[in-house]
Amino acid sequence: MTRKIDIFDTTLRDGEQSPGCSMNTQEKVIVARELVRMGVDVIEAGFPVSSPGDFRSVSEIGTVVGDAAIVCAFSRALERDIESAAEALKTASRPRILTGIGVSPMHMRDKLRLSEDEVIERAAAAVAHARRLVDDVEFYAEDAGRSDPQFLLRVVQAAVDAGATVVDIPDTTGFCLPDEYGALVRLVADNVRGIEGVTISVHAHNDLGLATALALAGVRNGATQVECTINGLGERAGNTALEEIVMAIRLHGEELDAHTDIVTPELTRASRLVSRITGMDVQANKAIVGANAFAHSSGIHQDGVLKARSTYEIIEPAEVGASGPDIILSARSGHAALRHRLQELGYSFDDASFEEVYERFLEIADQKREVYDEDLESIVQERQRDITAIYTLNALQIQCGDPLVPTAVATITSESGERSVVSAIGTGPVDAAYKAINKVVGIESDLQEFAVKAITRGIDAIGEVTVRIAAQDGRIYNGRGADNDIVVSSAKAYVNAINRMIQATRSRA
Ligand code: MN
């Protein structure tokens, strides 16, 4: 049997640090459930001391996950951070505290202003303190990729001596070349006393497009845990993509002496879910989960694939859930057929919510005859997005054309139940709709990006709009909306972004 590699997902912590990708507690719980379905070993759920919202999310996820995975909370090497992490993890059956400190010259000198000895002392104290609160403590040596290897060994030794159960050797800035990084991991594996009983973890960033290669180099050199995110979300250029590392290990398990327990047919759904929830699109040519990952367009390639898929395809689409059976539902499909298909897609509802989903399904089926899986996912995820809505768009009426003045009449309900009907004129239908919405919410924001795309097939497809708005403090929020009418999608997306902005402001308070 090959070595089991633990998949440590940090979509909810490092991933959430991508600009515009903040998620509220409910959204994080939805992602956590999908991570459990996928068989992830460790879920890093957040940074409890950073905000009340993050604290709540960690605690809620602890409850939801049960013993299906380890739930991990981030902290700096500070007592109050560690105590807050332990407190938030009280609900978890298998809690882990992640704590650590910068170990590169840049971090120690410019950020921490501490000497090498002081850093070692702080690292050991943090691990020992965390170990008094939970049994499972992971130590991260921040920016290990740019550290002096001999010093790194001293810090890791101190962490292991203080009781760390996992040590993470991150390339925080994505600076290393894969073989250099592998050598660093090997150095730790070969030279730290007592490392046999400790898991070595890798955490890499994609600043040079090498995040997956770095993680693989770590696995080759003794790491048995990989930290990664769905779609490679994360600070700056992102982290190692979960789907990439999992499939690379799956295809090269023998050479790497490695396997994971990930249920790979969940990969595509997880990718779409995270993309919709965060409002962060996946590039079409993204490995494994991009829209074009299994598309062949040149004649030579198509000819080959028709003769034998293996000529140009190293992964079968079904292996990553990219090509489920194309069951098409219509307005004639009854409750049972819809419920069955939704279950196959991984969604279940109580009777009352199912009835609402069914109503929306009928509306769509009436408008476009054939209802695909993408339509169903868009219905479900639209609901999930709206659960915590602060403002809800109930109706939108637009008048436009040549020579009309574009005019929008919007009906919006606020969370207190107050219903407003407002109208505005604009330079176009979307502008008019946004001006009407602004009259109700009364918050200034700056629209930075606006994109429309068809998420289902055909001329009657559901159009999805993604917007990015900047709040007055410069923070970015994404919003998404889907409807057959793209002006309605645009308005829904805008309301969604505003809801996120207000939620984020509240959870920081
Ligand atoms: Mn990171």
Quick check: 507 pLDDT over 90?
A: no
Q: For residue 205, report the distance from its CA to the centre of ligand 1, in Å.
A: 7
* Chain segment 81-100, per-residue pLDDT in tens: 999 999 999 999 999 999 99
Q: What is the pLDDT of residue 324?
A: 55
Q: What is the pLDDT of residue 387?
A: 55
- 7 contacts 31 by C-beta, under 8 angstroms: no
Nearest to 69 by CA among 32, 41, 29: 41
Packing angle between helix 351-368 and helix 373-386, nearest 10 degrees?
130
Q: What is the pLDDT of residue 102?
A: 97
Q: What is the pLDDT of residue 327?
A: 64
Q: What is the pLDDT of residue 228?
A: 98
Q: For residue 467, report the distance from its CA to the centre of ligand 1, in Å.
A: 26
Q: For residue 235, report the distance from its CA to the centre of ligand 1, in Å.
A: 7
Quick check: 434 pLDDT over 80?
A: yes
Quick check: 17 pLDDT over 60?
A: yes
Q: For residue 14, report the distance from its CA to the centre of ligand 1, in Å.
A: 6
88's CB contacts (< 8 A; 6+ apart) are 46, 48, 55, 58, 59, 62, 73
Q: For residue 48, report the distance from its CA to the centre of ligand 1, in Å.
A: 16
Q: For residue 203, report the distance from its CA to the centre of ligand 1, in Å.
A: 7
The beta strand positions in 183-242, using DSSP E, are 199-204, 225-228
* Percent over 70 (pLDDT), the chain: 98
Residue 126, amino acid: A
Q: What is the pLDDT of residue 484?
A: 86
Quick check: 297 pLDDT over 80?
A: no
Q: For residue 140, report the distance from its CA to the centre of ligand 1, in Å.
A: 10
Look-up of token digits 């403590």: 137
The dihedral region occupied by 306, where left means phi > 0, alpha psi between -120 and 50, and beta the remainder, is alpha
Q: For residue 356, report the distance from its CA to the centre of ligand 1, in Å.
A: 40
Say what the pTM is: 0.85
Nearest to 7 by CA among 231, 293, 223: 223
Give the least confident one: 159-173, 333-347, 381-395.
381-395
Q: For residue 501, report the distance from its CA to the centre of ligand 1, in Å.
A: 24
Q: For residue 35, report the distance from its CA to the centre of ligand 1, in Å.
A: 19
* Percent over 90 (pLDDT), the chain: 65
317's CB contacts (< 8 A; 6+ apart) are 294, 323
Residue 440, amino acid: V
Quick check: 19 pLDDT over 90?
A: no
Q: What is the pLDDT of residue 425?
A: 95
387's CB contacts (< 8 A; 6+ apart) are 26
150's CB contacts (< 8 A; 6+ apart) are none
Please give the DSSP secondary-structure letter assigned to residue 483: E
Q: What is the pLDDT of residue 140?
A: 98
Q: For residue 423, report the distance from its CA to the centre of ligand 1, in Å.
A: 46
Q: For residue 227, report the distance from its CA to the centre of ligand 1, in Å.
A: 9
d(CA 405, CA 402): 8
Using alpha carbons only, how large is the chain's radius of gyration in Å? 24
In this structure, the strands spanning 70-76 and 42-46 are parallel
Burial of 459 (0-12, 13-18, 19+ CB in 10 A): exposed
Please report which helix (H) or strand (E) contains residue 101, including its range. strand 95-102
Instruction: Kindly list the structural domains of the chain, giving each domain's residue range(s) and its CATH number in brackets, ordered by start.
Output: 3-278 (3.20.20.70), 293-323 (no CATH), 335-384 (no CATH), 388-508 (3.30.160.270)
385 pLDDT band (50/70/90 cuts)? low
Q: What is the pLDDT of residue 337?
A: 86
Q: What is the pLDDT of residue 388?
A: 64
d(CA 12, CA 17): 8
Q: For residue 351, report the distance from its CA to the centre of ligand 1, in Å.
A: 41
386 pLDDT band (50/70/90 cuts)? low
What's the mean pLDDT in 125-129?
98
> What is the overall mean pLDDT for the chain?
91
Q: For residue 172, report the distance from its CA to the centre of ligand 1, in Å.
A: 5
Look-up of token digits 């993509």: 241
What's the mean pLDDT in 423-447?
92
What's the mean pLDDT in 120-138?
98
Q: For residue 434, report the distance from its CA to the centre of ligand 1, in Å.
A: 36
What's the mean pLDDT in 11-36?
90
Q: What is the pLDDT of residue 508?
A: 75
The dihedral region occupied by 174, where left means phi > 0, alpha psi between -120 and 50, and beta the remainder, is left
Quick check: 446 pLDDT over 70?
A: yes
* Chain segment 447-486, per-residue pLDDT in tens: 988 988 877 777 777 888 989 999 888 888 888 888 889 9
Q: For residue 278, report the distance from its CA to the centre of ligand 1, in Å.
A: 18
Quick check: 66 pLDDT over 60?
A: yes
d(CA 19, CA 89): 26
- 201 contacts 234 by C-beta, under 8 angstroms: no
Helix locations, 298-449, DSSP H: 299-307, 335-344, 351-368, 373-386, 429-441
User: Number of C-alpha atoms within 13 angstroms, CB side, residue 466?
Assistant: 17
What's the mean pLDDT in 140-150?
97
What's the mean pLDDT in 161-177?
98
d(CA 487, CA 422): 16
Q: What is the pLDDT of residue 474?
A: 85
397's CB contacts (< 8 A; 6+ apart) are 408, 409, 410
Q: For residue 431, report the distance from its CA to the centre of ligand 1, in Å.
A: 38
What's the mean pLDDT in 389-399?
92
Quick check: 504 pLDDT over 90?
A: no
Q: How many residues does the structure list for the chain? A: 509
Nearest to 7 by CA among 168, 211, 346, 245: 245
Look-up of token digits 């770095």: 214
Q: For residue 394, report the distance from its CA to the centre of ligand 1, in Å.
A: 40
* Chain segment 315-327, per-residue pLDDT in tens: 988 899 887 545 6
Quick check: 146 pLDDT over 90?
A: yes
Q: For residue 432, report the distance from its CA to the centre of ligand 1, in Å.
A: 41
3-state per-residue secondary structure call for 226-243:
EEEEHHHCCCCCCECEHH
Please report which helix (H) or strand (E) contains residue 118, including its range. helix 116-133
- 85 contacts 73 by C-beta, under 8 angstroms: yes
Q: For residue 234, report the distance from its CA to the centre of ligand 1, in Å.
A: 7
